Amino acid sequence: MVVQLPRTCGNKLLVCDHTMINSVPGLALANETLYPIREVSRLSGVNSVTLRAWERRYGLLVPQRTDSGHRLYSMRDIERVKAIVSWIARGVPVSKVASIIDRQALPSLSVAPVAQTDSLADEQLQAAREQLIAAVARGDLLGLERVYGQLFARWPLTQLCNDILLPVWRQYRVQAKQGGASACWALLDGFLRGRLLQRIAFLQPDRASVLLVSLQPREEEVEVLLAALFLADADINIAYLSCLPAPEELLLMCDGGGHQALLLFSDRALEAGVLTRQLPRLNQQLECPVAALGACCELQAVELQQANISCLGLAQRSLTDSVQQLLAGRFDG
């Protein structure tokens, strides 16, 4: 319940005993909502002790402070906490999470004053996510198709994938694992798989071809398909394999298909056998380059380098340039 008498903190209006703290309209952070640590804990499922540890030990969070030292978090901070939880759940050490999520930039809004850019971007991204969630929650397939098309038309690929589609998909996946929203998860997952496969299946006879192999668990296929969108933006044909076949079969397919590169995607650390035996063997026997993409490039950069495997990086705009350089023989990552 909102208390009648608020107290101020700098340029913030702090509502006592309420979970949300709104800034004073007209100031630099106008219309931004801030949350105390207990509310962040409730929304994210991460206890306050852990949130403080992430801040002190790893610098993963930089909350604002009241005059009395209490922590205040924006919606951007809360989304960051959720992203941290997602990466840790995949086996990423907490010490390496920042290097991954810090590469996911928000869109620039040149028409807005600089001081308000982040807040406006957050609001628009949140509105986009809510549109998608509403269509899924209704089970409205035509509405989902419409929202999906609008998002692709409006947002740059990095923001579309990493700040809208993936967060909503992961949210439903977590809920389904916890015993809820399984129908919503199945609808969105199936819809995205179908639409994304359709997008990367467009072929042109005069384009270079790459073989993209997913090293993800089957239920996480959407992540590799979203990464494939950045590859498709490089104007290449993509032959997609949803799992890693036997090395002999993969060698035959690479050579017989005339592919200019073998790309392997994983947002998890690669298994020791794949990293120490299969990849070096493929790299030695194939004439085309072998490269990794996804979070494995951050998690096992040294090991991949020792195996002489190129690291193209995360699913973001630079991935498009990296694969073009790889095919041109100029990539040194």
pLDDT tens, position by position, 43-87: 888 889 999 999 988 889 999 988 888 999 998 888 888 888 878
pLDDT at 28: 36
How would residue 268 be classed by pLDDT, with cut points 50, 70 and 90?
A: confident
CB 68 within 8 A of CB 110: no
Residue pair 280/82 in contact (Cβ under 8 Å)? The answer is: no
Instruction: Assess whether pLDDT exceeds 90 at residue 332.
Output: no
Q: For residue range 215-232, what is the model confidence (pLDDT) as tens digits? A: 999 899 999 999 999 999
Cβ neighbors of 21 (< 8 A, separation 6 or more) are 9, 12, 13, 14, 15, 33, 34, 35, 36, 72
Instruction: Kindly state the DSSP code that residue 269 receives in the 8-state scheme.
Output: P
User: Across residues 194-221, what is the average pLDDT?
Assistant: 93
At 103, is the pLDDT very low, low, confident or very high (cuts 50, 70, 90)?
low
Q: Does residue 48 or residue 99 have the better pLDDT?
A: 48
* pTM of the shown model: 0.73
Q: How many helices and strands in the chain, by DSSP H and E?
A: 16, 11
Rounded to the nearest integer, the mean pLDDT of the chain is: 82
**pLDDT at position 101, please?**
76
Q: What pLDDT does residue 168 have?
A: 92
One-character DSSP codes across 167-234: HHHHHHHHHHHTTS-HHHHHHHHHHHHHHHHHHHT---TTS-EEEEEE-S-GGGHHHHHHHHHHHHTT
Strand arrangement, sheet containing 12-14: 7-9, 12-14, 21-23, 33-36, 71-74, 64-65
Q: Is the pLDDT of residue 11 over 80?
A: no
pLDDT at 89: 76
Residues 126, 118: contact at Cβ < 8 Å?
A: no
